Amino acid sequence: MILKIGCNKIIKKRLFGRGFFMEKKDIKKSVYDFYDKIAKEKEKVSVDVDKLNKSLGYTNEDINNIPKGAQMGLGCGNPKERGKPRPGEIVADLGSGRGMDVFLASKAVGDTGLVIGIDSNYKMIEKAREIASKNGFKNTEFRLGEIEHLPIGDNTLDLLISNCVINLSTDKQQVYKEIYRVLKQGGRISISDIMLKRELSEQIKKDPNIYGT
């Protein structure tokens, strides 16, 4: 059967009702529930996290510099590597989790810089703050917030990084609007993320768990 998106409201309603598609609010809920379980350690990634990070371009030095508990194997690239944070810069990491990339960037910006991690999950923020305090990071802040409504003032950032988070948003246009609002003129972005090369099957699209992975 060929389903044409953009069909009239009644047909769309029937398709949603039969579980062919998920509505944005349900997708958002599944993503938030997915990461809540990870934040509360009810679930975790079943790979060797150091090996995964090496395969994503993190060096041995990077891995040794990540404080214990901050890396969870949730990234899909190394945005700091391309973004190259410099001493004194203000940097933000969208969807910072437990702060792995925040802590790495914090070394690069030094005492005169600042790295802000933003995450919608309070447990992630709480844990990242705990790790920062235990390890004496004075130039990091972790703010609870959504990437669609950044808790950052206009024209603030020299560099914005994000590791495998924007794909999770149901309103990517709004995320990019926010990114351009908070960047200073001449500010840089370095985003690692996943993109679809082809359409997913209907079976995958209606699986709520797939939206968080």
Smallest separation, CB 192 to ligand SAM (Å): 8
Residues near ligand SAM (CB under 6 A): 31, 35, 72, 74-75, 95-97, 100, 119-121, 124, 146-148, 163-165, 168-169
From the number of C-beta atoms within 10 Å of its C-beta (0-12, 13-18, 19+), residue 74 rates as buried
Pick the closer one to ligand SAM by CB: 139 or 163: 163
Q: Which residues of 190-207 are buried (b: 16+ CB within 10 A; e: fewer)?
A: bbbbeeeeeeeeeeeeee
**For ligand SAM, the closer CB: 194 or 204:** 194
**Token output for 93:** 């990491």
Contact by Cβ (8 Å): 78, 102: no
Least distance between ligand SAM and beta carbon 202 (Å): 24
Q: Minimal distance in Å, beta carbon 78 to ligand SAM?
A: 10
36 or 202, CB closer to ligand SAM? 36
Q: How far is the CB of 103 from ligand SAM (least distance, A)?
A: 11
* Residue placing its CB nearer to ligand SAM in the complex, 90 or 102: 102
Helices (H), the chain: 9-17, 24-39, 49-55, 60-65, 79-83, 100-109, 122-134, 172-182, 202-205
The residue among 164 and 179 lying less far from ligand SAM, judged by its C-beta, is: 164
From the CB of 198, what's the least distance to ligand SAM, in Å? 22
When the beta carbons of 109 and 165 are compared against ligand SAM, the nearer one is 165
Angle at which helix 122-134 crosses helix 24-39, to 10 degrees, equals 30
User: Residue 68, CB half-sphere, CA atoms under 13 Å: how many?
Assistant: 2
What number of other Cβ atoms are within 10 A of residue 108's Cβ?
17
Closest distance of CB 32 from ligand SAM, Å: 7
